[in-house]
């Protein structure tokens, strides 16, 4: 996906990027490749693939959930890695207040440098486990939207993310072709944690046609205080 194709397909989502925003994506790409030589951020480094499989893929969430610039939205990205999907969303929607949680400090260091280079404001980074972060009273049920991409299966991911979503908010999981299958195995977890399925969106990325699934879960009631469980337990013993 070249720059022109990137713009064209985003226009279909009613996302029209300014020259400044396009330059931010260019800087993002250059820093991603540069830092990838020092720490393992991504296996995808070809420019056309980064634009399609990282930048555009992250922004597909905006086709199925409104990140309206008329309001301030508090978004938490769990296990963001190299910043996906939250940094592309922040570039496209500067109104977002973004919090990123990742368990690897080297990735957090990269994201700090990236946010500074891109002149992003209202972006906060935490080197922490999702289980610990979600039990902190300051973070718990305080976000309008919680996102996660390529982190864990839905049954586990729901325990990482739903405790952070405030009642009335949403958990958005960006998944591949197995999204529906994962969702079927996670129904008990979602209900237990206070969530309710809003919608499952299945589509293919342009150009290379790989399958994607976006799952939107509404938070309809408070998460029981015992969740998330201690670090490592959700992965070993999914709900």
Query: Residue 71: what pLDDT?
Result: 82
Binding-site positions for S-adenosyl-L-methionine:
79, 84, 130-131, 149
C-alpha atoms less than 13 angstroms from C-alpha of 43 in its C-beta half-sphere: 0
Contact of 46 with 55, CB cutoff 8 Å: no
Distance of alpha carbon 200 from alpha carbon 8, whole angstroms: 25
Binding-site positions:
79, 84, 130-131, 149
Query: Residue 215: what pLDDT?
Result: 97
Strand blocks (E) in 103-210 = 123-127, 143-149, 165-175, 195-204
What CATH code is carried by the domain that includes residue 198?
Answer: 3.40.50.150
Domain count for the chain:
1
Which residues share a beta bridge with 185? none
**Over the chain (239 residues), what is each successive 10-residue block's mean pLDDT?**
95 93 98 94 94 96 89 93 96 97 94 97 96 96 95 94 98 94 95 97 92 97 97 95
Enclosing domain of residue 55: 3-236
Q: What is the pTM of this model?
A: 0.95
């Amino acid at each position: 996906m070249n720059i022109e194709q990137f713009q064209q397909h985003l226009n279909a989502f009613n996302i029209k990027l300014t020259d400044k925003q396009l330059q931010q994506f260019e800087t993002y790409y250059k820093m991603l490749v540069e830092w990838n030589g020092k720490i393992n951020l991504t296996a995808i480094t070809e420019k056309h693939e980064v634009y399609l499989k990282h930048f555009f893929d992250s922004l597909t969430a905006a086709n199925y959930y409104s990140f309206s610039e008329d309001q301030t939205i508090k978004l938490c990205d769990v296990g963001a890695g190299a910043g996906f999907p939250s940094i592309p969303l922040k570039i496209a929607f500067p109104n977002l207040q973004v919090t990123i949680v990742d368990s690897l400090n080297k990735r957090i260091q990269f994201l700090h440098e990236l946010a500074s280079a891109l002149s992003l404001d209202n972006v906060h980074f935490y080197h922490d486990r999702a289980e610990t972060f979600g039990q902190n009273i300051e973070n718990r049920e305080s976000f309008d939207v919680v996102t996660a991409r390529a982190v864990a299966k839905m049954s586990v991911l729901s325990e990482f993310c739903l405790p952070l979503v405030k009642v009335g908010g949403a958990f958005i999981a960006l998944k591949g072709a197995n999204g529906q299958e994962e969702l079927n195995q996670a129904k008990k977890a979602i209900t237990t944690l206070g969530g309710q399925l809003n919608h499952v969106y299945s589509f293919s990325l342009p150009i290379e046609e790989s399958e994607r699934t976006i799952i939107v879960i509404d938070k309809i009631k408070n998460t029981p205080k015992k969740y998330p469980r201690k670090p490592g337990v959700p992965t070993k013993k999914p709900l």
